[in-house]
Amino acid sequence: MNVFVVGGGSWGTAFSALLRDRGHEVTLTCRDAEQARTITATGHNPRYLQTVNLRGIHAMPLDGAPLDEAELIVLAVPSRAFAAVASALPGSAPVLSLTKGLDPETGNRLSTRVQGRPVAVLSGPNMAEEIAAGLPSATVIASEDRALAEELQQAINSMVFRVYVNDDLVGVELCAAAKNVIALAAGGVDGLGLGDNAKASLITRGLVEMARLGEACGAQPETFSGLAGMGDLIVTCFSGYGRNRKAGELIARGLSPDEAVREIGQVVEGLTTAPVLRDLSHRLGVELPITEGVCHVLGGQELHQLLASLMGREPTEE
């Protein structure tokens, strides 16, 4: 398959290598022309996952890339750029989205911003650093087009990257967005040194929030106990590679959100998603106390005040 990967960050880089290893012809397109030239010249990404071998992968600037020749376009761009990139795609090749978030402009799921072509979403416990190292993982591909999902499953599945198909596009996308916000809070628990009990409690209640929102949007309940839900939430909240968890930890230790992003040096999707997710919950009339609390902290509230507000809520049934 002739595949164009749009986005030269960590996940775009790792996924390009994964596709190459499955025998596909891969072109990695980058916004920065110099980055693309360096990848072509050296076989390594100068900014992300620098030790990963990218030999055999074409690299070129996004501007001018012949995307109309693609049989599949993989979007691995930040959520804030997703709609603009998707709307400018030429041709009619299907899109596979790797982006985890919501559209900041409309509050809608990102796949809804892809028009005039089939779209699928890939999500699960897939830390790019581990995928790039060849460590085993599993993932989910969701689409309203079952044939597309199954075709992509066969094209991507391998002995180290097991792919499942799921027809709950709504649930998979909401899981991918919401888990980053919960991970910010989990990182706050780490930063305050509150212990494993507190962190496990927060993650569990975070999963309840995710499922509650999903139910209001018509998602399937079982999606939230699967790879896109529980699986991705666990790894995002515990992994040392998790940018959202790390950002929450840094903020708890006194850094501002902007300072945390600068120290991490990569996009932290939860910071973009949190207010969008909160506003969506308000429109739906769904209670998301952890998400609300994260937004308050990002707005300047002390983290210990968030903890007090969550622990001081009226006791109820689980």
Tell me the catalytic residues.
179
Phi, psi dihedrals of residue 54, rounded to the nearest 5°:
-110, 20
Q: What gap in Å lies between CA 277 and CA 295, rounded to an integer?
A: 10
Tell me which amino acid residue 128 is: A
Tell me which amino acid residue 269 is: E
Q: What gap in Å lies between CA 202 and CA 185, rounded to an integer?
A: 8
Instruction: Give the up-direction half-sphere exposure of residue 231: CA atoms within 13 A in the CB hemisphere.
Output: 16
Contact criterion met (CB below 8 Å) for 25 and 2: yes
Tell me which amino acid residue 187 is: G
Q: What gap in Å lies between CA 263 and CA 4, rounded to an integer?
A: 30
240: left (phi over 0), alpha (psi -120 to 50) or beta: alpha
As given in the structure block, the two tokens for residue 201 are 């409690």
Strands 119-123 and 137-142: antiparallel
